[in-house]
Chain A
Amino acid sequence: MLRLPAFRYFSARNLGEAVRMLMDLGPEATILAGGTDLLPKMKRRQIRCKALVDIRLLKEISGLRRTGENGGEVHIGSGVPLAEAASHPLLEEWDAVRQAAAQVATPSIRNAATLGGNLCQDTRCIFVDRSEEWRAALGFCLKSGDGAVCHAAPGADRCRAVFSGDIAPALMAAAARVRLCGGEGTRLLPIEELYRDDGRVGLTRKHGEILTEVLLDRRSCRESVYLKLRRRDCFDFALLGVAIGLLRDQAGTVLQARIALGGVSPVPFLAWEASRTLLGNPLTPESVAEAASICARLAKPISNADASPSYRKRMAAVLVARGLEELLRKPS
């Protein structure tokens, strides 16, 4: 088996200490939570860090709680394991989040992997997630090592490694916000602002900042669904993730709609153009079809995952339509 390189290990007892450790150790230190994304990448020498700051003991990032008027807000600690998120009673009404969490990897990985880790997972590429020998044989690329080429899209001037996390699109559809705590204080930002369109470093999180919790608000989303495209029903990362969140009135009129796509670009993104077509009317087969075809147009996958880009693009329409049809079948 592949072995981990040598590293220094620090276990933080509280949030403040964790932030201080990260700041003191500098950019060569990385946060360790579930480790399911980080450790394999360290074994493959994709991520070179000299120190790991373990945040698993932090009380500030554990558990779920309800706040707000009538308990309409749910706070999910970033340290919550995905298995817990997938079945927690406080998330009963957040179908997309639960469905996304339940479809990550395998049961044993979901027991270790955390919500925050899933949101902050590294972008992926079939030319990058390989051993060092394999990457060296092909030649290093924009993301792996010091190369200047992109093997997935020769001619590209920037890395298009794909963000394949399942939870992020689900949270985007639910209009969630995330809290980051760092040396300069706390930031609360819409989940989509956590990401940036760069396959090399896809997060706006600064060094020393820790994603501590996710906030969900019932007022922005009442119904949601998450659908995942992959080769098999477990193990595999999303070749495409479709999350849909809706707010409808008694008559079924769509008041708010958010369709998010994951697995088809360096950032998970909200397909506003498609979402807008649904507003102001009840869902109809026509509006569903229109939204679906817009999503297929917006999805621009490249050859960096195991299914062909044309298939993934085509499936964006199918999955969006299926998701909306599923919501249509349910009473609002």
Chain B
Amino acid sequence: MDAFSKAVGRALYADDLRLPGMLYGKILRSPHPHARILSLDTRQAESLPGVRAVVTGRGLPVPYGILPVSQDETALAMEKVRYVGEPVAAVAADTEETAGRALQLIRAEYDPLPPVLSLEEAIRGKGEPVHAKGNLHKAVSLKFGDANPPEEPEYTREDAFFYEGNTHLPLEEHSALALWKKGRLVLYSSTQTPFHLRKILAKVFGLPEDAVRVIAPKVGGGFGGKLDPFAHDLCASKLARDAGRPVKITLTREEVFYCHRGRHPAWMNIRTSWKKTGELLEMRFRSCLDGGAYGSFGVVCTYYQGGLQPTTYRIPSYTVESARYFTNKPPCGPKRGHGTPQPRFALEAHLDKVAEELGLGPVELRLKNLAPPDSTTVNRLRVTSSGLRECVEKAAEASGFRDKFRKLPYGRGIGFALGSYLCGAAVPIYWNEDPHSRVRIRLDAKGGITVFSGATDIGQGSDTVVVWAVAEILGVPPEKIRLVAADTDRTPFDLGTYSSRVTYMAGNAAREAAENLLEKVYRRTGGRRMPFEKAARIAVEKEGALESWGSYKPPLKPANFKGSGVGPSPAYSFCACAAQVQCDPRTGRVRVERITFAHDIGRAIHRPSVEGQIEGAVHMALGEAFLEEQTFHPSGLHRGPGILDYKFLSSLEMPEVKLILIESKDPGGPFGAKEVGQGPLLPVIPAVANAIYDALGIRMDKTPFTPENILLALERKSCGRIPRVGPEGFPDIPFPEPTHIPASLPGETVPC
């Protein structure tokens, strides 16, 4: 849809927008990881010529947060700062330079407190906690299925893993441009969720939602990093109101690292029990998340730690304990895969060890325990279509896995892993009964077709999906269709771009809207055969235009237990990945030679977009596996908040990706389609870890797999120690008694 305009630089992103009289906003940020704010003196800044407005925490005191249960942020810090980079004041001035000078004139006095910078420190809880209620944000304890394993276990294994935190690194830095028109707020923002942002703006400014308009222009990547409402959105709005002029705030790359909301560092422990023949009997999964300074999506992430293991494997008896702690670092939140890549890494690496000890092939062990299609998992998730078995078989075959595994020369290896992800969360963030997506189509007198969709294209291609769905039903070329998207005034409600929901939900709404339009046209033309354009002309003769609507609401209710809202989805994608690596045992460097990837897409609506998403996910996953880390200096400062120092995968390290699309044709998906935006990231990281073991005989139980750690594990191996790098055991966390959810609840109808 927009590839050409983006390629030639014609597409307009939030920072490209300029309005007459527009001012430039800048944000003053905390230099301390943890400190009480003693005083903030903005008088000098206010009197600097060219400064039009200054705001501090007192000016925007209403707390908010993306989740109703975590309304723990304010746009600007009030009494305390909780991480380096936390916004404390903002100014708007005629020029960026003046705004920058004004920031330097703000006198901020702090009383530094000892910072909480690691999980260990947060758990130990010495000194003042990050939040008044203590450092423990959320602890979840759930037991699913049989109270005891169905048979006496013959083999048990326990492993510990650590997954390092990392960030999204979208190409476009966040930007927000606010203006007020007759008491109404209009905000252009690089956001994934214009409708949620509208809700928060309305809350903070005490306005009805109708008095706020949020527009997402082209968004240059999000990956979850543009889901939360941010200080720059609120500050631009406030400054614009105070100054009576439009205000734009565009973040620097460094500031994007402070917004963060990226992958939680996770310390995990997994224990499973088995029959010797390789049947899984029981699993206990424990996870402890380093959440950073605020809630964000953290509660959801905590539940997701145990959420999706059962969509790939049958687990008769399953216990999940997960917790999230506050620390004095930028808040973690949702990044591609949300809370599932860390546990997926642990699970799939653990299975590789189990398979070896049971003397079974990694593929065979997995095949023995696959969750079947059309089933309900132990944690009450309804699996509909599943091409998982086919994914496993095809990926194994195309990669030559069985011929290569344990047979390649020293230094070369192959690893295998599976993944699965939601096609949209079945439960909205704010509980209500309304459809999750609506699409409107207008057919005008000249046969023009305009589609109105609230879905937000952040580069993943959802605009293409919506338009192609309509084009397919109407039988017109996609180029003939105009799209108006992601504008809360002009487009119908849509929950936004997260949880891999857009193709499934907005796609379904678009399909339904197009079908309804076709039906109307058909009725008005008496069902005669004719080209669509002619039919359209006849159909709109009377009113001059014709309109139709479509909507989508997931056809299921979550089960009746606390936490059951996290995980349910109308469908799940499935994937299998084989990674082949070449390791240099002298330098510790690993080159990924080839990724073989089979993905159950349901049905590919636009094949190049599907392939692009998988290749992109492989790229991001390899970055997380080998390079990326959002880590901090003992002073609380981010170690490298820049695009040179934060190492992501370059195109030169990108291997050949052999793609296999499995089309399981989901009964509920638009044209049978399922998600591809997030799931493909999941299996890549453990597949690589397993491949490194096949190559060198060392276990990388901690990401990223740096050359230093590979050499460390090799050293341990050569002196007879356990050849691994990773954490031991699991921290002592006060989990509550687990809530037991038996295999079937009394009086419960199977959700469908």
A residues sitting closer than 8 Å to B (CB atoms) are 1-3, 6, 126, 129-131, 133-134, 136-138, 229, 231-236, 306-308, 311, 314-315, 318
Chain B positions 61 through 87: 1 when the CB is less than 8 Å from some CB of chain A, otherwise 0 = 000000000000000000000001000
A-B contact count (CB 8 A): 67
| B243 in contact (CB, < 8 A) | no
Sorted from nearest, which 5 A-B pairs have the closest CB atoms?
Answer: A137-B31, A233-B652, A232-B650, A311-B708, A318-B586
Minimum Cβ distance to chain A for residue B723 (Å): 18
**Given the complex of chains A and B, what is the CA–CA distance between A170 and B84 in angstroms?**
41
Contacts of B250 in A (CB 8 A): 1
Known: A234-B650, A306-B647, A311-B711. 17 other contacts (CB 8 A): A1-B250, A1-B252, A3-B96, A126-B639, A126-B640, A126-B645, A130-B641, A133-B31, A134-B638, A137-B32, A137-B84, A231-B647, A232-B647, A234-B651, A235-B644, A236-B647, A308-B708
| 26 residue pairs from A and B, CB less than 8 Å apart | A1-B252, A3-B96, A3-B97, A126-B639, A126-B640, A126-B645, A129-B642, A129-B645, A130-B642, A131-B252, A131-B641, A133-B254, A136-B31, A137-B31, A137-B32, A138-B635, A229-B587, A232-B627, A232-B652, A232-B653, A233-B653, A236-B644, A306-B640, A311-B707, A314-B711, A318-B586
B residues sitting closer than 8 Å to A (CB atoms) are 29, 31-32, 84, 96-97, 173, 250, 252-254, 586-588, 627, 633, 635, 637-642, 644-645, 647, 649-653, 707-708, 711
Q: Are A2 and B640 in touch, CB under 8 angstroms? A: no
**Given the complex of chains A and B, what is the CA–CA distance between A232 and B704 in angstroms?**
14
* Contact for A133 among B29, B587, B633, B650, CB less than 8 A: B29
Minimum Cβ distance to chain A for residue B269 (Å): 27
Q: Are B649 and A232 in touch, CB under 8 angstroms? A: yes
Contacts of A131 in B (CB 8 A): 252, 254, 641
Contacts of A233 in B (CB 8 A): 650, 652-653
Q: Which residue of A lies closest to B584 (CB)?
A: A318
Contacts of B649 in A (CB 8 A): 232
Q: Which residue of A lies closest to B627 (CB)?
A: A231
Contacts of B635 in A (CB 8 A): 137-138
Q: Are B647 and A137 in touch, CB under 8 angstroms? A: no
**Given the complex of chains A and B, what is the CA–CA distance between A318 and B714 in angstroms?**
16
Q: A306-B645, A306-B647 are in contact. Are A1 and B253 (CB under 8 A)?
A: yes
**Given the complex of chains A and B, what is the CA–CA distance between A133 and B708 in angstroms?**
31
Q: A137-B31, A231-B627, A231-B647 are in contact. Are A2 and B637 (CB under 8 A)?
A: no
Minimum Cβ distance to chain A for residue B148 (Å): 47
Minimum Cβ distance to chain B for residue A126 (Å): 7
**Given the complex of chains A and B, what is the CA–CA distance between A133 and B707 in angstroms?**
32
Q: Are A134 and B254 in touch, CB under 8 angstroms? A: yes
Q: A137-B31, A137-B84 are in contact. Are A318 and B587 (CB under 8 A)?
A: yes
Contacts of B32 in A (CB 8 A): 137
Minimum Cβ distance to chain A for residue B411 (Å): 15
Q: Which residue of B lies closest to A315 (CB)?
A: B587
Contacts of A136 in B (CB 8 A): 31
Contacts of A236 in B (CB 8 A): 644, 647
Q: A3-B96, A315-B587, A318-B586 are in contact. Are A137 and B637 (CB under 8 A)?
A: yes
Contacts of B640 in A (CB 8 A): 126, 306
Minimum Cβ distance to chain A for residue B48 (Å): 17
Q: Are B637 and A134 in touch, CB under 8 angstroms? A: yes
* Contact for B173 among A1, A3, A307, A308, CB less than 8 A: A1
Minimum Cβ distance to chain B for residue A166 (Å): 15
Contacts of B97 in A (CB 8 A): 3, 6
* Contact for B637 among A138, A229, A311, CB less than 8 A: A138
Contacts of A311 in B (CB 8 A): 588, 707-708, 711
**Given the complex of chains A and B, what is the CA–CA distance between A111 and B444 in angstroms?**
51
Contacts of B644 in A (CB 8 A): 235-236
Q: Which residue of A lies closest to B28 (CB)?
A: A133
Contacts of B633 in A (CB 8 A): 138
**Given the complex of chains A and B, what is the CA–CA distance between A229 and B706 in angstroms?**
13
**Given the complex of chains A and B, what is the CA–CA distance between A3 and B26 in angstroms?**
13
Contacts of A306 in B (CB 8 A): 640, 645, 647
**Given the complex of chains A and B, what is the CA–CA distance between A236 and B645 in angstroms?**
8
Q: Which residue of B lies closest to A312 (CB)?
A: B708
Minimum Cβ distance to chain B for residue A161 (Å): 15
Q: Which residue of A lies closest to B591 (CB)?
A: A233
Q: Are A134 and B652 in touch, CB under 8 angstroms? A: no
**Given the complex of chains A and B, what is the CA–CA distance between A322 and B253 in angstroms?**
38
**Given the complex of chains A and B, what is the CA–CA distance between A131 and B251 in angstroms?**
13
Contacts of A129 in B (CB 8 A): 642, 645
Minimum Cβ distance to chain A for residue B176 (Å): 15
Q: Which residue of B lies closest to A137 (CB)?
A: B31
Contacts of A130 in B (CB 8 A): 641-642
Contacts of B252 in A (CB 8 A): 1-2, 131
Q: Which residue of A lies closest to B635 (CB)?
A: A138
Q: Which residue of B lies closest to A1 (CB)?
A: B252
Q: Which residue of B lies closest to A105 (CB)?
A: B644
Contacts of B651 in A (CB 8 A): 234
Minimum Cβ distance to chain B for residue A318 (Å): 5
Contacts of A232 in B (CB 8 A): 627, 647, 649-650, 652-653
**Given the complex of chains A and B, what is the CA–CA distance between A236 and B252 in angstroms?**
21
Q: Which residue of A lies closest to B651 (CB)?
A: A234
Contacts of A318 in B (CB 8 A): 586-587
Contacts of A307 in B (CB 8 A): 707-708
Q: Which residue of A lies closest to B644 (CB)?
A: A235
